[in-house]
Structure 1
């Protein structure tokens, strides 16, 4: 089993491989018990949102880790992948601006993938 930080890196790379935009990693460990990290990214089309989410699932599954819950595949405007310690939010650009999770979780520090 990989460490949670390694999983975040794998998720980040899976998003980046499919040209996800504005990838943000929020550290929630000292703020909530919902998850240790949120990984948030944007895409410019429903097809790309779905492709990114599918790639994240594929890459994480290679490590023997299955998604606990997923939601949003029917519309592909906001797909949530819940891995317990890490929650992945893949947004269509318009939905990301509307829901603005970074503002809602403004107390959470941003993590630079290079320092994780």
Structure 2
């Protein structure tokens, strides 16, 4: 499995384990050089958003993947976690609706949980 897909799979699992809402994996490699995947999810409150971020960092670190940078931690309303070929966006519910990244990146291909082979 390629590295980007492996990171996407681990991220999905980490978000799912902490009950993230509406996890979307969008394959964007064919339409931009920014990354291969965007992963978008939201929490119901700032505590859950922080728990999602912590769990993603822990799960990926355990598997040897460290973020290039993380932005937005203090606000806890939109956290961007840059893992190179995979960029993770964890939102508060309100900010996710406001920024609507799914619409902006609608030319990308939605990847299902099954396509990531998440067990």
TM over 0.5: yes
1:64 maps to which residue? 64
Q: How is 1:1-116 mapped onto 2 (pairs within 5 angstroms)? A: 3-116=3-116
Secondary structure of the 2:15 match is: helix
CA distance in 1, matches of 2:24, 2:45: 19
CA distance in 2, matches of 1:70, 1:113: 24
**TM-score normalised by L of structure 1:** 0.96
Runs of 4+ that moved beyond 2 A? none
User: Cα distance, 1:3 vs. partner?
Assistant: 2.2
User: Cα distance, 1:88 vs. partner?
Assistant: 0.2
CA distance in 1, matches of 2:6, 2:67: 16
User: Cα distance, 1:91 vs. partner?
Assistant: 0.5
User: Cα distance, 1:109 vs. partner?
Assistant: 1.1
What are structure 1's unaligned runs of at least 5 residues?
Answer: none
Please give the root-mean-square deviation of Cα atoms over the aligned residues, in Å.
0.9
Deviations 1:44-94 (A, max 9, x none): 101110110110000000111111010111010111100000000000000
User: Cα distance, 1:6 vs. partner?
Assistant: 1.5
Task: Give the number of aligned pairs.
Answer: 115
CA distance in 2, matches of 1:75, 1:29: 29
